[in-house]
Chains A and B, each alone.
Chain A
Amino acid sequence: MTQLAARCQNLRKTYGSVVAVDGLSLDVVRGECFGLLGPNGAGKTTTIEILEGLLVPDAGEVEVLGLRWNRDEHELRQRLGIQLQESQFTDKLTVEETIRMFRSFYDRGRSVDELLALVELESKRSSWVVKLSGGQRQRLSVACALVGDPDMLFLDEPSTGLDPQSRRQLWSVLERFRAGGGTILLTTHYMDEAEVLCDRVAVVDHGKVIALDTPKALVSALGAPKTIVHEGTLEDVFMSLTGRLLRDE
């Protein structure tokens, strides 16, 4: 039997009359990189925040690393690395001070120097956060997620707003994390990112999983436009599944 890093069953979460997550179930296998794809407002962030123990679902079961949030929160927090969408670190702390502060929360973990090297921020060690570029901030955020040497990493839209170089740098950090046996669950808007990083993806819309497989299988299942122009990509799958209407949150 394959070991599960995270599983959730029949999750449901509503905000007033809005159903954000509607009976969603997922299994994430240990050691894999699992992607949640979906348009804005599909319920990706709500789902990942439930798995991160930041939101309590209205109904459904959640298990992460074989543990439960209501019983084992302390251990889970020690063993998970989390990156949130849009969270900003303190402007007038330096990169090193920020990582050091996060390091102090964990019983075990990597040294500040090791992390700075990993995310290639050594030259920015003494810069204030406010002076960093978008890509550098994102790398700092990844460093803080990795500071406790986690077994599993949650990333919510990690490459939104990054330039191509920063994205590749981020991908290489994530691949190194996986090479060390780590599990990743990420959400993304970018199909190419999912194709490069993810072993399996779930396409989520209206709070439900509407497709789940390897990127390759999804593409071939589409029966891909076998035209000469281009081979089918995950992008085609996504558009065909979720439609072409613009989604505004």
Chain B
Amino acid sequence: MSDPIVVDRRLPRGGAYPALVELTLARLREFVREPEALFWTFLFPMVMSVAMALAFPSKAMQPVRVGVLTGAAELRQALKADAGIALRDVAPGNELRALREGDVDVIVVPGSPPTYRFDPTREQSRSARLVVDDVLKRAAGRSDPWTAHEDAVQIAGSRYVDWLIPGIVCLGIMNNGMWSIGFMTVQARLRKLLKRLAASPMKKREYLLAQMFARLVFLGPEVAVPLLFGVIAFGMPVNGTVLNIAGVSLVGALMFGAVGLLLGSRVKTIEAISGLMNLFSVPMWVLSGVFFSSSNFPAMTQPVIKVLPLTALVDAMRAVVLEGSTLGAIRGELVIMLSWAVVAFAIALKIFKWR
């Protein structure tokens, strides 16, 4: 019997995988060999979540800050006794400044009766006024008909940090997608690598697809790391299934990959692509409800804000992560995202400059 013929199916064509695989691998290798890229992808979302959670803790626990003009020992005594009040001395003449700079929420001017000086347009000031008023009246001998039982609960999932983290995950999907693809594309054009590739029989569509596929490989950890961080560090609830979260992330990443490709399709300098990316993404940092609800913006702007790529992704992500929505329930957002992806990719393929 003759020796069996060994066919090496792993690497056909002179030692190479199919072009789409090789191009994707090349892009991935480039990425993992760039330490800065790893920082931006994985560490940045965590640093951001911690910073935001520290800056905006859940407000229920915070004492109200009350300023008292120097002197007035009796009044001071009464206010100090209450745990919900943080007392500060304010020198006469400095009252308005202390209020303006947010050092205190309300100022009590001694007198009979005392005067509350506060800004009624600020929520904190209004609640501080109520607390102070209650404490002082009780100290003055008011008798209450009854005292209610208080049942303090804190519902995980309704805190700011729970709302914030899915938004930050989306911000990461946007930034990494646009910057990694747009930037690398422009760099390859600058180095005339694109021109060299165009001189080979490489299929141009495959090159562009490979850039997007390479993005998807790291999408898993990129989304999972900040979400797990939220679960472990803040006890954030994740009500959606892994599959649905993955689905939303995938569509979001494809969308921003395509957008990055489109933005980088003709630009010839790093400065120009940076400018273009910022022009496109910075408004969405503000408008798309990552850090504060986009419902704060006027009603007439809402239709526009709703169809922004980042808004669609953030809304879909929060619905899935926090409310456990199914993909069917967020199909509106998915359609918006897929439309962006398809249109951006098609235009990019059409207008892409290889030299």
Q: How many residues of B contact A (CB 8 A)?
A: 28
State whether the Cβ of B328 lies closer than 8 Å to any Cβ in chain A. no
Nearest neighbor of A75 in chain B, beta-carbon distance: B201
A-contacting residues, B17-55, CB 8 Å: 17-19, 21-23, 25-26, 29-30, 33-34
Across the interface, do A74 and B201 meet the contact criterion of CB distance under 8 Å?
Answer: yes
Contact with B along A100-122 (1 / 0, CB 8 A): 11111111011111100000000
B14 is contacted by which of A77, A89, A109 (Cβ under 8 Å)? A109
B-contacting residues, A77-110, CB 8 Å: 77-78, 82, 84, 86-90, 92-93, 97, 100-107, 109-110
A86 to B191, CA, bound (A): 8
Kindly list chain B residues whose C-beta atoms are within 8 Å of the C-beta of A110: 14
Across the interface, do A84 and B195 meet the contact criterion of CB distance under 8 Å?
Answer: yes
Minimum Cβ distance to chain A for residue B42 (Å):
19
Quick one: given A84-B195, A111-B15, are A105 and B21 in contact (CB under 8 Å)? no
Nearest neighbor of A149 in chain B, beta-carbon distance: B14
Across the interface, do A93 and B199 meet the contact criterion of CB distance under 8 Å?
Answer: no
Kindly list chain A residues whose C-beta atoms are within 8 Å of the C-beta of B15: 100, 103, 111-113
Across the interface, do B18 and A82 meet the contact criterion of CB distance under 8 Å?
Answer: no
Query: What is the count of residue pairs linking A and B with beta-carbon distances less than 8 angstroms?
Result: 90
**Range of interface residues on A (Cβ < 8 Å):** 20 to 34
Minimum Cβ distance to chain B for residue A99 (Å):
8
Minimum Cβ distance to chain B for residue A245 (Å):
29
Across the interface, do A92 and B29 meet the contact criterion of CB distance under 8 Å?
Answer: yes
State whether the Cβ of B198 lies closer than 8 Å to any Cβ in chain A. yes
Nearest neighbor of A53 in chain B, beta-carbon distance: B199
Minimum Cβ distance to chain B for residue A184 (Å):
16
State whether the Cβ of B192 lies closer than 8 Å to any Cβ in chain A. yes
Minimum Cβ distance to chain A for residue B257 (Å):
19
State whether the Cβ of B196 lies closer than 8 Å to any Cβ in chain A. yes
Minimum Cβ distance to chain A for residue B3 (Å):
22
A110 to B15, CA, bound (A): 9
State whether the Cβ of B16 lies closer than 8 Å to any Cβ in chain A. yes
A124 to B332, CA, bound (A): 53
Across the interface, do B29 and A97 meet the contact criterion of CB distance under 8 Å?
Answer: yes
Kindly list chain A residues whose C-beta atoms are within 8 Å of the C-beta of B29: 92-93, 97
Across the interface, do B193 and A78 meet the contact criterion of CB distance under 8 Å?
Answer: no
State whether the Cβ of B296 lies closer than 8 Å to any Cβ in chain A. no
Kindly list chain A residues whose C-beta atoms are within 8 Å of the C-beta of B200: 77, 82, 102, 105-106, 144, 148
Across the interface, do A90 and B21 meet the contact criterion of CB distance under 8 Å?
Answer: no
Query: Which residues of A does B touch, CB under 8 Å?
Result: 52-54, 74, 77-78, 82, 84, 86-90, 92-93, 97, 100-107, 109-114, 128, 144, 147-148
A-B contact pairs, 7 of them (CB 8 A): A54-B199, A87-B191, A92-B33, A93-B26, A103-B15, A104-B18, A112-B14
Query: Which residues of B does A touch, CB under 8 Å?
Result: 13-19, 21-23, 25-26, 29-30, 33-34, 188, 191-193, 195-196, 198-202, 355
User: Nearest 5 pairs between A and B by C-beta?
Assistant: A77-B201, A87-B192, A104-B16, A104-B22, A87-B196
